């Protein structure tokens, strides 16, 4: 199929008619063509969003009305859930069961922020003298939003829904590898009559062209980015050098998943395997560093390897598939480079690391991969692989577990597995991460904040925290004294 991007309420080709081929990673074949936008296309999208914010009705629409429009978007997503889930799997590779969960989360996001839209309130500030002082919460303005390829529609919803609830206008740039469900979302948005044209624009193209143009624009008030730490640093620097636009960043991770000897072993093994191999390991919060108490180290390694070898790989549309292909051939090559780094660095390859043959040889697959006895200073233990590759590191005691957990530039997430509540809480307080799961891994409730410490980002998404990214606070002081100011 040939898709069009969504600019100022119209579905358009790129200004130069250039397109990009979109691949089905399970088959290694082209499945669609999408516009490859130019800088002029980006400027058109920005102009539409700027006009609608500065002159249109959306920022001043009654919050309850904005909320009802978001609820309609949620309902429309649910009505097309299976279509969207199948397209997500075909474009990104993940199992259909996971795509269905992502589409449900996307609908939930619009529903949550639809309900929150009319609950944005300021405060009356207690001051002395005959005056009234209060704060208003106002939309930040025109927002450029840049999302990754691992959760395409869900990430779009995480960004668009709170921005709309706050009264902002939006230009969304989906990942160039996985834009198809975002473009289907454009069809849904276009079908909502009450949503003014130009409030949401969805533009396809690469980061150096489309993404950079958004970041450099003086007409953009805020950038929201999810992706690599390297790109996040560039965005922060460039935003500061242009118009000091506001920036929120959800960046990389090298999250520790920590296992104590007193943990429920069956739950722990399931959590270790799910923590790293869910979504092919293409998750910023993946439990890619297994820290395990020495007394159960060998037992855990053997059990993990046995489970990993049983993971059914295949096309995500097959109901028996538990792990699909990686998103592109280029990304698979990157993951394979870390397999080589692990081998050359002296870590023990327990299982995996190869491309499967047979019917899977056409797709971008790599086997679930486990390395044991990994040096905690090595690249394999310190750098984000973003694939189904895990580094196992044993520890002696609780103190060492905390030291190893924090021995990273990142601080997005962590898991702790123990039956000892006191021990769990001690680790929760000591681990420098934005999310800590105890006896679980990967849940992301819509109502709770998502984001990291250190080089894992700035700001929080989801819940009430997420909408704050799209609001400005204005102080209003009203003199009630009815007397002139004395100078």
Average pLDDT estimate for 23-32: 97
Statement: residue 485 has pLDDT above 80 = no
pLDDT of residue 216: 98
Q: What share of the chain is helix, strand, coil (3-state, %, to 5)?
A: 40, 20, 35
Average pLDDT estimate for 443-471: 97
Which one-letter DSSP state was computed for residue 470? T
CB-based contacts of 346, cutoff 8 Å, min separation 6 = 375
Q: What percent of the chain has pLDDT over 90?
A: 98
Average pLDDT estimate for 371-389: 98
pLDDT of residue 229: 97
* H-helix segments, 55-173: 63-79, 81-92, 96-116, 152-166
Chain centre to alpha carbon of residue 229: 13
CB-based contacts of 103, cutoff 8 Å, min separation 6 = 77, 81, 84, 85, 88, 153, 154
Q: What percent of the chain has pLDDT over 70?
A: 100
Average pLDDT estimate for 285-313: 98
Over residues 432-453, the pLDDT tens digits come to 999 999 999 999 999 999 999 9
Which one-letter DSSP state was computed for residue 197? T
Provide the whole-model pTM.
Answer: 0.97
- The mean pLDDT value of the chain amounts to 97
Give domain 256-438's CATH architecture. 3-Layer(aba) Sandwich (3.40)
Average pLDDT estimate for 53-59: 98
pLDDT of residue 34: 98
Give domain 5-251+456-475's CATH architecture. 3-Layer(aba) Sandwich (3.40)
Over residues 203-214, the pLDDT tens digits come to 999 999 999 999
Domain boundaries, given as residue ranges, for the chain: 5-251+456-475, 256-438
68 backbone φψ class: left, alpha, beta (φ>0; ψ -120 to 50): alpha
Over residues 127-167, the pLDDT tens digits come to 988 899 999 999 999 999 999 999 999 999 999 999 999 99
Average pLDDT estimate for 372-389: 98
Statement: residue 38 has pLDDT above 90 = yes
Average pLDDT estimate for 317-330: 98
Average pLDDT estimate for 360-380: 97
Over residues 239-290, the pLDDT tens digits come to 999 999 999 999 999 999 999 999 999 999 999 999 999 999 999 999 999 9
Determine contact, residues 134/124, Cβ cutoff 8 Å: yes
Q: Which residues are catalytic?
A: 250, 284
């Amino acid at each position: 199929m040939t898709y069009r991007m969504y600019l100022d309420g119209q579905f358009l080709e790129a200004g130069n008619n250039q397109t990009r081929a979109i691949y089905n990673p399970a088959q290694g074949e082209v499945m669609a063509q999408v516009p490859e936008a130019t800088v002029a296309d980006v400027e058109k999208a920005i102009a539409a969003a700027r006009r609608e914010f500065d002159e249109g009705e959306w920022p001043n629409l009654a919050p309850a009305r904005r909320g009802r429009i978001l609820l309609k978007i949620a309902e429309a997503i649910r009505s097309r859930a299976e279509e969207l889930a199948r397209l997500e799997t075909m474009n990104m590779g993940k199992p259909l069961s996971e795509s269905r969960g992502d589409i449900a989360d996307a609908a939930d996001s619009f529903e949550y922020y639809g309900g929150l839209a009319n609950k944005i309130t300021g405060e009356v500030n207690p001051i002395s003298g005959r005056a009234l002082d209060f704060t208003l919460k106002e939309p930040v303005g025109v927002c450029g939003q840049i999302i990754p390829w691992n959760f395409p529609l869900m990430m779009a919803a995480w960004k668009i829904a709170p921005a709309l609830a706050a009264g902002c206008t939006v230009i969304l740039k989906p990942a160039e590898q996985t834009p198809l469900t975002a473009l289907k979302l454009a069809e849904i948005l276009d079908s909502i009559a009450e949503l003014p044209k130009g409030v949401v624009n969805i533009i396809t193209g690469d980061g150096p062209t489309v993404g950079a143009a958004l970041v450099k624009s003086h007409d953009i008030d805020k950038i929201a980015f999810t992706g690599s730490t390297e790109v996040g640093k560039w965005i922060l620097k460039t935003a500061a050098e242009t118009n000091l636009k506001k920036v929120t960043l959800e960046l990389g991770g090298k999250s520790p998943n920590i296992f104590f000897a007193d943990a429920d072993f069956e739950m722990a093994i399931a959590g270790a395997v799910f923590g790293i191999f869910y979504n092919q390991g293409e998750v910023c919060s993946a439990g890619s560093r297994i820290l395990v108490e020495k007394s159960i180290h060998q037992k855990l390694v053997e059990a993990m390897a046995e489970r990993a070898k049983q993971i059914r790989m295949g096309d995500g549309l097959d109901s028996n598939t538990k792990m699909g292909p990686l998103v592109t051939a280029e990304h698979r090559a990157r993951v394979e480079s870390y397999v080589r780094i692990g081998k050359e660095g002296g870590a023990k390859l327990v299982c995996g690391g190869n491309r499967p043959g047979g019917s899977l040889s056409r797709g971008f697959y790599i086997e679930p991969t486990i390395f044991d006895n990994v040096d905690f200073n090595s690249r394999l233990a310190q750098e984000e692989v973003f694939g189904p590759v895990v580094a196992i590191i044993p520890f002696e005691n609780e103190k060492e577990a905390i030291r190893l957990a924090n021995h990273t530039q990142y601080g997005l997430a962590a898991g702790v597995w123990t039956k000892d509540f006191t021990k769990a809480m001690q680790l929760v307080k000591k681990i420098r991460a934005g999310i800590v799961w105890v006896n679980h891994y990967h849940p992301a409730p819509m109502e709770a904040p998502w984001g990291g410490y250190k080089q894992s980002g700035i700001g929080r998404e989801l819940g009430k925290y997420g909408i704050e990214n799209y609001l400005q606070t204005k102080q209003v002081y009203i003199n009630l004294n009815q007397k002139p100011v004395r100078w």
